[in-house]
Amino acid sequence: MRNDPPPGEHPPVLTLRRSNRRGRRARSRRLSTAVLAGVAVLLAAPLVGSTAPRQQILGVAVTAEPSPSSALATDDRSTGASGRLPGRGPAPDPQGNRSAPGARQAPPVDSLTGYAWPIRNARLTQPFGPAASGSRIVDGAPFHDGIDLATFCGDSIVAAHDGVVMAAGRHYDAFMGWVGDLTAYTARLDEKHLWLTLPNVIVIDDGNGYRSMYAHLRFVAVAVGDVVKAGDYLGSEGRTGNASGCHLHYGLFSPYAVSTIGIDPVVAGHMLLPTAELARIDPLLVLPPLEAGGIK
C-alpha cells in the first residue's frame, strides 16, 4: 500500500530548506567517501585474490589455454607453460625439457623418498621394461617406459608424492621430457582437431628433481599450479587415449637426465613427434614393496 495523502490534501511543506541543503551536502560527502573506499577495494582485490602464490611456486606466469571442447572444460583444465621451478637449476629447453648446459644432474634414484602407491589394491598389469607392445625403444627393442596399474574404471587416482601440478589434461607434452621440437606435432593436432584423441595426463613436479606422470585418467580433478600432498585425490582411473582398458600408466623421470630413450619410428613419423625422450626410471625402485594379492 502506498502512503499517498488523501485526495484533495497535499503533503506538508518543509520550511527548513537551509538545513536540508546542509544535509544534502553531508550526504554528498559521505557518498564520495564511500565511492573512494570502493575504488580502493577494487584496486586491492587483485592482490587479495590473485594467483601470485601459485605463480611463485611455479616460477612462471601461468596462462590458461582454451579447452579443445567446451563439453570437456571440467575434465581438461590444461595450460601451457614452460620455465624454471624454484631450486631446479637452469631452465630446460622449452620444447624437449632437456637440461641446459651446466644444469645439475638428476639426483640418485636411491635418494628419493616419500613415494606412495597412486592406486590402492591395484594389479600390476604391465611392468617397466622390455615389452612387445611398447612404443619406446631401448637397445633396439620395444620398451614400456612406466608401470601400468589397474583396479576398476572410475577408481581414485592419488598423488604418489608431494609436488606441484605442471600439466593437467591433454596439453601436457611440453613437460614430458621430449628431446626435440614439438612444433610439427602440435600443428598436426591443431590442424586435424586431434587433441581429444590424446589421454588425460597429469604431470607433477615432485620437488626432488623428478616428475611423476599419470596417464589415461577419465576425470582430472586438479589444475596447473595446485600444490598436492602424497595421497591427495587427482582424478579417476580411465582409458582415455590409446588404452585397451581402464588403468593408470605411471611414469617417473628427471628433467635433468642425460640419457635418452628412443621412440618407435613408425609412431614418431605418424604423429610427427621427436625421436627421443629423456630416460625414465622404474617406479618400483621408489614405491613401497608389492605385497601378495596386489598393492596394499
CA separation for the pair 70, 93 (Å, rounded): 31
- What is this structure's pTM? 0.68
Going by C-alpha positions, the residue among 295, 277, 263, 253 that lies closest to residue 121 is: 295
262 CB contacts (<8 Å, ≥6 apart)?
136, 137, 138, 275, 276
pLDDT confidence of residue 17: 40
Domain ranges in the chain? Answer: 15-50, 53-285
Per-residue pLDDT of the chain (296 residues; tens, 9 = 90+): 434 433 343 333 333 344 444 444 444 454 444 433 443 333 333 332 333 332 222 222 222 233 332 222 223 333 333 333 333 333 344 334 454 444 578 999 999 999 999 999 999 999 999 999 899 999 999 999 999 999 999 999 999 999 999 999 999 999 999 999 999 999 999 999 999 999 999 999 999 999 999 999 999 999 999 999 999 999 999 999 999 899 999 999 999 999 999 999 999 999 999 999 999 999 999 999 876 545 55
CA torsion sign for 182, 185, 190, 194 is negative
Which CATH code of 2.60.120.620, 3.50.50.60, 3.30.565.10, 2.70.70.10 fits the domain covering 53-285? 2.70.70.10
pLDDT confidence of residue 296: 53
pLDDT confidence of residue 104: 77
154 CB contacts (<8 Å, ≥6 apart)?
218, 236, 237, 238, 246
